[in-house]
Amino acid sequence: MERIFLSPSRYVQGKDVIKKAGTYIGKLGSHALVLADKLVWQIAGNNLAKTLEQSHIQVEKVVFNGECSNSEIERVTKLSKKANSNVIIGVGGGKTMDAAKAVANNLNIMLTTFPTTASTDAPTSAVSVIYTDKGTVESYRFYNRNPDLVLVDTRIIANAPPRFLVSGIADALATWVEARAVKQSCSRILIGSAPTIAGQAIAEKAEQILFAHSVQALEANKNKLVTPAFESVVEANTLLSGVGFEAGGLAAAHSIHNGFTAIDGDIHHLTHGEKVAYGTIAQLVLENRSLNELDRYIQLYLQLGLPVTLKDIHLENATDGDFNKIAEVATAEHETIHNMPFKVEPEDLVMALKGVDAYVKNYKKRHGWKDE
C-alpha cells in the first residue's frame, strides 16, 4: 500500500498578513471570488477585498449561506463560473472554506483559504464535510489537491471570541489520539493510503504544543494579544492538526462527533471542536487508557472550559433511544471508528459515552474541582 503525504502548497501565518494578501494571491489569479458569511464580511472580508483591489485583482463578493451543502456549493459554483473567476478565497470558518474547496474543484481553479478563527483544521485539507441544508453530516468529498495558499492573520484571530480558539484546540487534540489508533491498527487514512511517518510525527507534535501552550494562548486571546504561545497554538490548531489528521488518519473521536449530529436538541449549539472533545475522551475510554492519561486530558479540558460531562453537552436527559441513535450513526459502515485497533459495537460506544461522564465526575471528586 502506498504512503501519501498531503499538505497545502503554501502556508503563511503572522500578524497583519491580510495587508500582504494581494502579493500572495496575485500569484494565483487576477479575478478572485471571495466567499464569506455576513458577519465575516464585516470582520475581514471587506478589508481583504479592498487589499486585493489595491493590488489590481478583480473581486467578486459572494455571501455564504451558512451550510456547506450540495445546494450551496452548486449556487456558488454557478456564480463563480458566471464571474469567470480564476481563484476562489474562502474566508471565515470551516464550512465556508469547505464550500470554497468544492467550488474550486468543480471549476478547476486556484484556491485560497483565509480562516478568521483557529477553530478547525479545515484550512489546509483536501476534503470537505458535506452537510444537509439542515446541518446534519451527509458525506465527505475528497479532492486531488490541497489549498494552493493558506493565509492566517493572527491579529484577526486574536480578536475572535476565545471559544473558537478553545474549540480548535479540542479538535487538534484529537489528532494524535486518532492517528495513534490508525497506526496501531495498520488502517488507512481518509484517501485510502497508508499513513506516513511524517503525518504521525506532526500529529504527535500538535499534542505536545497544545499541552505546553494552550492555557497561555487562551489568556492571550481573552486579552486580544498575539504572543509566542498564541502563535504556536494557532499553528498547531491549523497547520499541524490539518496535516496531521489528513496524513495520519481519523478514528473514533470524529465518528462520535458525526453521531452527535444525528439527534435533535441543544447539542447543536456546541461547536465542532466541543463535540470532538467529548468524542476524544470517549475514544480514550474505549481504548482503556491509563488513569494518568485520562486525568491529563480531563484536566486540560476543564482548564479550557470544554464540555466533558453529559450535562455539558446537553445529553443529561437523553433517552436510551438517543444514545443508540448516536452510536448507530457513529458506527455506520463508512465511519472512521472502524480504524480503531478493535471492533467497536454500538453498545460499546454507548457505554463509553456514559463512561466519560462517570470518569469526569470521579476526577472532579478526587481533585476537589469546583464548577464555576
Annotated catalytic residues are 171, 254, 257, 272
SS (HEC) of the chain:
CCECCCCCCCEEEECCHHHHHHHHHCCCCCEEEEEECHHHHHHHHHHHHHHHHHCCCEEEEEECCCCCCHHHHHHHHHHHHHHCCCEEEEEECHHHHHHHHHHHHHHCCEEEEEECCCCCCHHHCCEEEEECCCCCEEEEEECCCCCCEEEEEHHHHHCCCHHHHHHHHHHHHHHHHHHHHHHHHCCCCCCCCECCHHHHHHHHHHHHHHHHHHHHHHHHHHCCCCCHHHHHHHHHHHHHHHHHHHHHCCCHHHHHHHHHCCCCCHHHHCCHHHHHHHHHHHHHHHCCCCHHHHHHHHHHHHHHCCCCCCCCCCCCCCCHHHHHHHHHHHCCCCCHHHHCCCCCCHHHHHHHHHHHHHHHHHHHHHHCCCCC
Q: Residues 55, 61, 67, 70: is their CA dihedral positive or negative? A: negative
CB 178 within 8 A of CB 284: no
- Report the relative pairing of strands 137-142 and 127-131 from DSSP bridges: antiparallel
261-272: burial string, b at 16+ Cβ within 10 Å, e else: bbbeeebeebbb
CA 158 to chain centre: 18
Cβ atoms within 10 Å, residue 16 = 11
